[in-house]
Structure 1
Amino acid sequence: MTGFRLLSFLGTLAVVAATDIKPASKYNTKCHSPFTEISGRCVHIDVSKTGTWQNMRKFCQQLGGDLVNLSDLQFYGDILLYIESLHLPHAHLWIGATDEATEDVWMWTDGTPVRMGTPFWANFGDNNSQMPDGGDSQNCAMLDVNMHYYFNDFSCSKLDISPLCEK
């Protein structure tokens, strides 16, 4: 019985040790402060800054980047894991998607179209409606902390949203 316990303990120890090993990044991306490498891209979240979508975009541009483009599902998932690891206070985050130029035509700041529907945009309500639903009064996208960081359309002039920048 003692041999079984020792083998069991050593097996558990091996599993724990294997899961604690951080593999070398497959990306050769070097991010300079204040940016952090996530999936080969440089990102920065600053919850001490809040403002309108346009002002937070300018903030990101002053850092040499822009609001983040989350068109890649793997990158979006990695960003969510990163946000979770930061244990941020209750904070919504502006992302680089807008339909200000043409209503219901959502575009990233680089001019590429935003994928609509699941798995990016939040669902809500008893009838499980899906964002965006704000019409011409809500033209900027954010990661909504109240909707588990799914995309939500909001008024671009909302002042209490922080930037999620990418360089």
Structure 2
Amino acid sequence: MRLVLLPLSLCLLLLCYGSDGARFHIDGKDLLVLQQQGTWEQMSIACRREGAHLLKIDSADLMHTLVYELKRNAFDNKNYWIGATEVGHESIFRWQDGTKVKMGTPFWGIHLGAQEPNGGNLETCVFMDKNNFMYWADALCTDICSAICEFPRREDQFCAK
């Protein structure tokens, strides 16, 4: 295995392929798009095995660039778990770090005329919906999706090969 070090100033976006998925660097975040599928909990564990956690999308710019890159690299054909859930948070969606999830546009989609999230107490995990332009939707945590993982910030490197 060879480690590739690149200065952050040279790279606004970088895509690296590995056996477990594709790795992107977008808006200061080092991401891994996993191709395997599982429940929200299974994919959260899969991210942790990689040294990461399910992605936190905290800006419209990140959302836009991520969707663009997923589409450009033909990864927009799957649903992806992200790190938001309302499990244990009294009907408030939160990221895995405990911060509140932004609601409404430009993140959440519309399903059958109703603004997501619209699954009540049963649909408590969040995914990017391939059938709705990758806008977010709530779902049963036992549904099966791929996942996008986010690595902790590192100043010296962001893409290992």
Q: TM-score, normalised by structure 2?
A: 0.79
Alpha-carbon distance between aligned partners in 1 of 2:17 and 2:52, rounded to the nearest angstrom:
12
After superposition, residues 1-150 of structure 1 pair within 5 angstroms as 24-25=10-11, 35-47=23-35, 49-88=36-75, 90-125=77-112, 128-150=113-135
1:16 corresponding residue in structure 2: none
Distance in 1 (alpha carbons) for counterparts of 2:23 and 2:130: 21
Q: CA deviation at 1:46?
A: 1.7
Partner deviation per Cα, 1:112-136 (whole Å, 9 max, x = no partner) = 10001111110122xx310001111
Contact 1:103 1:135 in 2 (8 A): no
Q: Over residues 99-149 of structure 1, what are the superposed CA-to-partner deviations in whole Å (9 max), with x where a residue is unaligned?
A: 011342000011110001111110122xx3100011111000000001110
**Residue-pair matches, total:** 139
Unpaired stretches in structure 2, ≥5 consecutive residues: 1-8, 152-161
Q: Larger C-alpha radius of gyration, 1 or 2? A: 1
Larger relative contact order (CA 8 Å, sep ≥ 6): 2
More strand by share: 2
Q: CA RMSD in A?
A: 2.2
The TM-score with structure 1 as length reference comes to 0.76
Q: CA deviation at 1:90?
A: 2.5
8 Å Cα contact 1:103/1:136 also seen in 2: no
